[in-house]
Amino acid sequence: MDRTFKLGGDLTIDRIGFGAMRLTGQPGNFGPYPDWEGGKALLTRAADLGVNFFDSARAYGPQHADRLLGEALAERDVVLATKGGIDKFAPDRMKRDASPATLRQQIEDARVNLRRDVIDLFQLHWIDPEVPVETSMEALVQARDDGLIRHIGLSNVDRETLDRALAVGPVASVQNRLNSAERAHEALVDYTAERGIAFIPYGPLGAHPMKHGAALEPVAALAWLLERAPNIVVIPGTTSLAHLEQNASAWSQVQGAV
């Protein structure tokens, strides 16, 4: 089984990545991570272990997780992904806005926060009920054509929405909740695999997005996902060096890993 995946057909990433949501203030993933230097050390250790795909979002903090990644990994040869289309105003208060003007500004902010001229993967975090997905996609395609982002991803979508987006432009990834205990999106895993689209399951360990702690045994849960389909890229998040190293060991339980 291949340990890597070509994101968008041209960015080779290890299929065990890192999700940065927990590197924020608590409760509610709101505010800056209190141990900023410790967070940077964790991220650089992940890169040292071979992790080369890091997933963040504007809503994490908001913007603080992106800034932490930018400070820690600006000089590293890694793929950085973020999301937009949501702003967060309090631990329990967010607003969707995937209008073209807002997405453009959020891309510009992400370029500053991540310290990258080109964002490797910019994902629409949620579909805005007030803005057709086609309109949001057109804005992202324009940003790609203008050299601001390399690839476009979608999060929290069904097959119909993905097809509507694909009619406008290429989609490199889909990020929906999936783990061995929550399998509602397994059909979409297969659909994306057939099309060379990465499936990035959030909640891979069954954790509640606003609470710490894994509901599933980490290594077994990650191994199940890695074996489920060759396009799955897992992004377990942690604030612990020990858990980081445990997550990175998941390949040891995957049959036929090379």
pLDDT, the chain, mean: 95
129 pLDDT band (50/70/90 cuts)?
Answer: very high
For range 200-220, the mean pLDDT: 85
Q: Is residue 76 scored above 80 in pLDDT?
A: yes
- The pTM of this model reads 0.96
Residue-wise pLDDT for 23-37, tens only, equals 999 989 999 999 999
Q: Is residue 214 scored above 80 in pLDDT?
A: no
Q: Is residue 256 scored above 70 in pLDDT?
A: no
Catalytic residue positions, numbered: 60
Three-state secondary structure of the chain = CCCEEEECCCEEEECECEECCCCECCCCCECECCCHHHHHHHHHHHHHCCCCEEECCCCCECCHHHHHHHHHHCCCCCEEEEEECEEEEECCEEEECCCHHHHHHHHHHHHHHHCCCCEEEEEECCCCCCCCHHHHHHHHHHHHHCCCEEEEEEECCCHHHHHHHHCCCCCCEEECECECCECCCHHHHHHHHHCCCEECCECCCCCCCCCCCCCCCHHHHHHHHHHHCCCECECCCCCCHHHHHHHHHHHHHCCCCC
For range 179-185, the mean pLDDT: 95
Residue 68: what pLDDT? 98
Residue 258: what pLDDT? 54
